[in-house]
Amino acid sequence: MQTLKEVKCGQTVTVSKIDGTGALKRRIMDMGLTKGTEIYVRKVAPLGDPIEVTVRGYELSLRKADAEMVLVQ
């Protein structure tokens, strides 16, 4: 399994698990990243931070630290 941080630009993946605990995990889930959700990686900044993805019909920018907690397949 890989993390969202490792996904290349232009790929579509599905969330399989959210790592982390407490408020941090809740914040990621509140953004719409829940198990089974499809994510399309639109852009990655030149230095890799942030990552722009399309989730549930809207664009979302994630820091690398947050993207590392999202396990995808």
Tell me the average pLDDT of the chain.
91
pTM: 0.86
CA torsion, ordered 37, 41, 45, 49, to nearest 10 deg: 20
Domains of the chain (ranges plus CATH)?
2-72 (2.30.30.90)
pLDDT digits (tens, 9 = 90+) for 25-57: 999 999 989 999 999 999 999 887 899 999 999
CA of 71: how far to CAs of 2, 17, 46, in Å?
A: 6, 5, 22
